[in-house]
Structure 1
Amino acid sequence: MTDQPTDQPLAILLAEFAGAAYADGVPESITSSVRQRVLDCLGLSLAARSLPTSAAAIAYVLAQGGTGQAHVIGTPTRVPAPQAAFANGVLAHSLDYDDTHLPSVLHPSAAVVPAALAAAESSGASGTQVVRAIAVGLEVTVRLGMAGYDRSLGNSVFFEHGQHATSICGAVGAGVSAALLLGLGAEGARNVIGLTASMASGIIEANRTGGTVKRLHCGWAAQSGVTAAELVAAGFTGPPTALEGRFGFFEAFLHGQFNPREVTDGLGERWSVADIFFKPYPANHFTHTAIDAGLALRARGVRPDQIAALRLGVPPAVIRTIGQPIEAKRRPDTGYQAQFSGPYAVVAGLLGGGGLGVGLDDFTDALAQDPLRRSLMSLVEVVPDERCEAIFPYQFPAVLTVRLTDGTEIVEEVLANRGGNQRPLSDDELGLKFQDNASRFLHQDALDKVRGLVLRLDEQDHLGPLLTLTTGTGATSPVAP
């Protein structure tokens, strides 16, 4: 464990930062980034409503009853704020289409944004307050994740322990956002950190061998954050050393192997929010450059019947997620399993065509079992690549080598992720992603109004009109100026 860089407990430093940023404001670049992330989360949540697991989560929430405080996205009935946060977190993360921070490999927005929306609707907070609270929650989440990132190992210690860093760190970030929006201030945020440290959880085995439990993780994190804030408001308190203490967060999850300077250095001056990568494709982020390589083959005019062999070179650390066990990765049974398959990613790029090149319609159970796709997947090896290893985890690169039936060899190198800091998505591309996702649930009139409200989120008096529009009602009402 690295020596503590300050005498102040980390929870106090984070809470003071949160309170100051919430009161004084955040840079305009961060405000713009937050608006984009809210739009992204709303689109993802609307598209995810078609999943059986989403229906199950929403039905579970509606069956609980309670005081109506906040909307489940796309549902007219209001439910208690923690329950809304849970359902919306499940929706936001379920398509594996939500944003990713590198190198921590966190998906911060899917935990923080649902918690903030629920807490804000419950409390009547303004759009400006929502933007600031989300920015702070995202920053807290990323810094905690980076504290558990081992640069010498080149991987997150959370992941090495089988833990889902997103839901663990996201619970704390979600709690800080909710604390601010419920008017608890810096001291309340500090106590919420203490409570969420006891509520954080999530293991990542489903990435390897299946199951849909991972879809719950961001919902659980968001619910934990809002619940903790409500409990602090009712009088509960947490230990000031909840993070770095002998029996605290980092000891419990990481056995004390963490770097506190990732939490403290540049806090309040250097923001990580704008460096969270947007996802252009609805699949595990490790697969995205493989999709790009497949798209490049398609652009070259390579036909499936010309391909004799495919070798996908990737960083060794990602093989266990997208290439092992290779027999299962070559024959996914469901669209969900296909989202974690390197062989499927290559084939999706080669054959797909929705969204921004590959979209939601390219990840269905039917396509995962399609004989042509399976025959092509059987030709794909997933192997370690030294050049990719040198770049990882600041990008998730891939080198695809293709041998054609006539003996020709083609190499496609994709060394930086689309949607990241080297290849950012434009506003128009993000708008296209939102359109493709939200149009599966909303009519165009409501969709346009939702987008208009989100792009002026910091000008809204409260979130009621926006969240009502996500239900498909109120579409004839004018967008607020």
Structure 2
Amino acid sequence: MTMSTTVENISETTEEAAQVFARNAVAVGFDDLPEGVAEMTGKAIMDTLGVILPASTTSVEARLLAEHVLDFGGKGESTVLGFGTKAPAWLAGYVNGAMVNCGDYSDLHPDAAHISSPVVPAALALAERQGGVSGRDLITAVAVGVDLQCRLTRAAAAQPGGVMAPWHPAPVFGVFGAALACSKLLGLDVNQTVDALGIAFTQAAGTQEIVFGKDSTIRGFGHAVPGEVGVRAAQLAQLGISGVRNSLDGPRGLWNTYYRGIYDRELLLGGLGTRYDVLNDGFKPWPSCAFTHVFVDMVQELQRENGFAGDEVESVLVTVGDFARGQTEPLEEWRRPANSMLAKLSVPFTVATVLHTGNVTIADYAEEKRVDGEVLAMADRITSRFDPQYNFVSGAGFPGGEIEIVLRDGRVLRRQQPRAYGHPLKPMSWDGLIAKFRDCAAYSARTVPPADLDQAVEGFRTLESVDDVGALIALVG
């Protein structure tokens, strides 16, 4: 177990971490990326772009936001994905960032949650604005940005007792990761990159209330700000506007202000340039909260092994830890979630869906499905119990769970799993990710012609050979 760093035990001569990250980002090239990093980053880019597209038709809020932003007008630089209309790059980054998590479908690192979705929307928007950005250059920029996002999140997890900090890592750390990726795309030097990180720091904000609050649908917009700030911070630094120089380690910098000076400096800086935690990233096979996934996976495994249908189920008992307990109790509330976003969080509703249909898809969270009588009747057969062995511990990955299904013929089926499909130890294949991407594209407000979709899939599959990623974005945007 690594030791936490506090403000008291950092030497006055310790170099500002923003300077270290800036210097590394400027120096690294595509050929410097360790084996596997380019491929995994390419997967993250494709997956992130893909999960943005469905929000254009499945999220009323996303459509209203897109219409609001497009009403501003301005120079058409970058695509508002799913709608096929262009806006100024920083506004396109904002809308695409807002849409990236509307479906709760973006990538999922077991120790750092969503590491690509705060970074990729900004990088895509700026790359399209710049024009002529190669796949190799995009991969390199996203790799350093995602690496920073992951390092910040993991370093912050070193809180006493594994207690979750109140800050939401996607918007708070995302502005740094997005700004670093965009600085790399613009070819900024070290001082300009430090400035960009310092400018981004002034916008770092957002608490976990966006996750736990049940009275709004704004939760899906949690990754919006990095998409805007990343583009804008890098552009302002390029113009010569200076930012905070000690944004991470300063007396009123990120760590001292947001985390009481407590973080893990080894996780933050150790192996920089050689250790890329994107290699441990995971991708979601189902469009719902990660804490529901182990139960979806267990139901599907039991169905494959025992061949039962939903109408054969008498009762279901799910065993959950503390975090999933908050998405299970009170049962009456979570059996009938008040909106689609809460449905994606609900363990009973999601388990009922997979028992009833055999899978969990984007369409299963549409309004008509949320009030489907047969799904709700199945949810009424689901109860829960708490077991602290499945408690969430920050930095220790997403916990497993147990399920017991009693069938009407008297059979009792039980399963326990430490992790779900999509976890890096149980990963999705390229074929699985491509199937997911195609399915997401089918929900785009702008119809994607089959030939264009095929070309886009091939382009993302071989992203390092693409000469201009803007042309690739145009195929599906």
The TM-score with structure 1 as length reference comes to: 0.90
Quick check: 1:335–1:367 contact (8 Å CA) kept in 2? no
Instruction: Report the CA distance shift for 1:186/1:351 in structure 2 as closer, same or farther (over 3 A).
Output: farther
Q: What residue number does 1:477 align with?
A: none
Q: What residue number does 2:209 align with?
A: 205
What secondary structure is seen at the aligned counterpart in 2 of 1:277?
coil
Q: What residue number does 2:176 align with?
A: 172
Instruction: Report the CA distance shift for 1:311/1:150 in structure 2 as closer, same or farther (over 3 A).
Output: farther
Which string of whole-angstrom CA distances, capped at 9 and with x for unpartnered residues, describes residues 415-434 of structure 1? 22211221111111111111
Q: What residue number does 1:401 align with?
A: 404
Q: What residue number does 1:359 align with?
A: 361
Q: C-alpha separation between the residues in 1 aligned to 2:215 and 2:345?
A: 10
Quick check: 1:334–1:369 contact (8 Å CA) kept in 2? no
Q: What residue number does 1:447 align with?
A: 453
Q: What residue number does 1:184 align with?
A: 188
1:145 offset after TM fit, Å?
0.5
Quick check: 1:74–1:470 contact (8 Å CA) kept in 2? yes
Q: C-alpha separation between the residues in 1 aligned to 2:35 and 2:437?
A: 22
1:408 offset after TM fit, Å?
4.3
Q: What residue number does 1:298 align with?
A: 303
Which string of whole-angstrom CA distances, capped at 9 and with x for unpartnered residues, describes residues 338-394 of structure 1? 1000111211221224xxx42212222222222222222223233332443499842
Q: C-alpha separation between the residues in 1 aligned to 2:460 and 2:419?
A: 29
Structure 2: any 5+ residue segments left out of the alignment? Answer: none
Tell me whether 258-267 or 462-471 shows the greater mean CA deviation.
Answer: 462-471
What secondary structure is seen at the aligned counterpart in 1 of 2:285?
coil
Tell me whether 303-312 or 283-292 shows the greater mean CA deviation.
Answer: 303-312
Q: What residue number does 1:58 align with?
A: 66
Quick check: 1:25–1:132 contact (8 Å CA) kept in 2? no
The TM-score with structure 2 as length reference comes to: 0.91
Tell me whether 35-44 or 382-391 shows the greater mean CA deviation.
Answer: 382-391
Q: Which of 135, 148, 165 is equivalent to 1:140?
A: 148
Quick check: 2:350–2:360 contact (8 Å CA) kept in 1? no
Asked if 1:267 is matched to 2:283, the reply is no
Q: What amino acid is the match of 1:414?
A: Q
Q: C-alpha separation between the residues in 1 aligned to 2:98 and 2:227?
A: 9
Q: What residue number does 2:116 align with?
A: 109
Q: What residue number does 1:478 align with?
A: none
1:305 offset after TM fit, Å?
4.6
Q: C-alpha separation between the residues in 2 aligned to 1:247 and 1:151?
A: 19
Asked if 1:42 is matched to 2:49, the reply is yes
Quick check: 1:127–1:463 contact (8 Å CA) kept in 2? yes
1:336 offset after TM fit, Å?
2.2
Tell me whether 358-367 or 222-231 shows the greater mean CA deviation.
Answer: 358-367
1:68 offset after TM fit, Å?
2.2
Q: C-alpha separation between the residues in 2 aligned to 1:31 and 1:48?
A: 27
Instruction: Report the CA distance shift for 1:154/1:408 in structure 2 as closer, same or farther (over 3 A).
Output: farther
Alignment of 1:297-446 (within 5 A): 297-299=302-304, 300-320=306-326, 322-353=327-358, 357-389=359-391, 393-405=396-408, 408-441=411-444, 442-446=448-452
Tell me whether 202-211 or 452-461 shows the greater mean CA deviation.
Answer: 202-211
What secondary structure is seen at the aligned counterpart in 2 of 1:35?
helix
Q: How many residues align?
A: 462
Tell me whether 295-304 or 75-84 shows the greater mean CA deviation.
Answer: 295-304
Q: C-alpha separation between the residues in 1 aligned to 2:392 and 2:95?
A: 39
Q: What residue number does 1:280 align with?
A: 285
Q: What amino acid is the match of 1:43?
A: G
What secondary structure is seen at the aligned counterpart in 2 of 1:339?
helix
Q: What residue number does 2:25 align with?
A: 18
Q: What residue number does 2:36 align with?
A: 29
What secondary structure is seen at the aligned counterpart in 1 of 2:413?
strand
Instruction: Report the CA distance shift for 1:184/1:352 in structure 2 as closer, same or farther (over 3 A).
Output: same
Q: C-alpha separation between the residues in 2 aligned to 1:275 and 1:247?
A: 32
Quick check: 1:330–1:377 contact (8 Å CA) kept in 2? yes
Instruction: Report the CA distance shift for 1:377/1:230 in structure 2 as closer, same or farther (over 3 A).
Output: same
Q: Which of 234, 241, 244 is equivalent to 2:249?
A: 244
Quick check: 2:103–2:288 contact (8 Å CA) kept in 1? yes
Q: C-alpha separation between the residues in 1 aligned to 2:271 and 2:456?
A: 35
1:146 offset after TM fit, Å?
0.8
Q: What amino acid is the match of 1:53?
A: E
Quick check: 1:204–1:214 contact (8 Å CA) kept in 2? no
Q: C-alpha separation between the residues in 2 aligned to 1:188 and 1:133?
A: 15
Q: What residue number does 1:193 align with?
A: 197
Quick check: 1:293–1:346 contact (8 Å CA) kept in 2? no
Which string of whole-angstrom CA distances, capped at 9 and with x for unpartnered residues, describes residues 155-207 of structure 1? 532xxx1x321121111100100111112133222111111111012233343
RMSD: 2.2
1:140 offset after TM fit, Å?
0.2
1:23 offset after TM fit, Å?
6.9
Instruction: Report the CA distance shift for 1:91/1:358 in structure 2 as closer, same or farther (over 3 A).
Output: same
Q: C-alpha separation between the residues in 2 aligned to 1:435 and 1:306?
A: 33
1:402 offset after TM fit, Å?
2.5
Quick check: 2:282–2:423 contact (8 Å CA) kept in 1? yes
Which string of whole-angstrom CA distances, capped at 9 and with x for unpartnered residues, describes residues 300-333 of structure 1? 234445444322112323322x224433211113
Tell me whether 146-155 or 82-91 shows the greater mean CA deviation.
Answer: 146-155
What secondary structure is seen at the aligned counterpart in 1 of 2:223?
helix
Quick check: 1:112–1:174 contact (8 Å CA) kept in 2? yes
Quick check: 1:251–1:257 contact (8 Å CA) kept in 2? yes
Q: C-alpha separation between the residues in 2 aligned to 1:464 and 1:372?
A: 45
Q: What residue number does 2:15 align with?
A: 8
Q: C-alpha separation between the residues in 1 aligned to 2:423 and 2:67?
A: 36
What secondary structure is seen at the aligned counterpart in 1 of 2:48?
helix
Quick check: 1:287–1:341 contact (8 Å CA) kept in 2? yes
1:33 offset after TM fit, Å?
0.9
Which string of whole-angstrom CA distances, capped at 9 and with x for unpartnered residues, describes residues 6-56 of structure 1? 711111111112112247531241111111112112221222210212211
Asked if 1:122 is matched to 2:129, the reply is yes
What secondary structure is seen at the aligned counterpart in 2 of 1:111?
coil
Instruction: Report the CA distance shift for 1:60/1:391 in structure 2 as closer, same or farther (over 3 A).
Output: closer
Q: C-alpha separation between the residues in 2 aligned to 1:333 and 1:373?
A: 14
